[in-house]
Amino acid sequence: MEATRAWSALVVEDLAEARRILADRLVRVGFDLSYAEDGFAALSAFGRCQPDLILTDRQMPRLDGIGLVRRIREISDVPVVMITASATVSDCEEAMRVGANRYLEFGRDLERVGSVACELVGRAAPASGPAASRSITATDVRWQAKQELRGELQRLLVECRGNIAEMARRMGKDRSTIRYHLRRLGMLDGGLASPS
């Protein structure tokens, strides 16, 4: 019988407690681990251990997760999962643009770390309920932001009785920006908003 291949991961996180929590999720699904406290230490460790996966925090001193991914992509296509405590649409898009494979939010996606790691190295994750869920993608974040904008515009259309100038004032935008978003979301057609 063939021995099971040991997969390795490099966990890059400056906070010891967060590092321990992330390590626990990866050990549960069978990864051997190496650690680094920031992006520069991770680059050095990457050269030594050649991991199958990198799991990195977004915000770290010296070299952050975005800078680390940029540098890793110059030398390798190893899968990279970026995780952060405060996910924003722009951070997610930037992470994906520089080459991260997945972008997770520490609180909401913590239980999926193991299954995402297994997926990225091409290995089946042990069955464990919610950990089998898929991770958030840049497309998901953009869709969510679009839905939030649609909801805000719908609320303001009612409150401002379709007055675009008043909507622009309340949102701190100019009228052309509000018109653009209303058109883009299909909300300007059919007399939903007044031309003022």
pLDDT along the chain (196 residues), means of 10: 69 91 90 92 91 92 90 93 82 87 85 89 59 53 70 81 87 86 74 44
CA–CA distance, 53 with 113 (Å, rounded to integer): 12
Q: Please report the pLDDT score of residue 2 as a whole number.
A: 41
CA torsion sign for 54, 60, 63, 66 is: positive
Distances (CA, A) of 160 to 141, 166, 177, 190, 194: 28, 6, 16, 17, 10
Q: Which CATH architecture has domain 7-136?
A: 3-Layer(aba) Sandwich (3.40)
- pTM here is 0.62
Domain ranges of the chain: 7-136, 140-191
CA–CA distance, 147 with 68 (Å, rounded to integer): 32
Q: Please report the pLDDT score of residue 111 as a whole number.
A: 85
Q: Please report the pLDDT score of residue 74 as a whole number.
A: 93
CA–CA distance, 127 with 141 (Å, rounded to integer): 26
Tokens describing residue 3: 């021995």
Closest CA to 41 of 65, 24, 22: 65
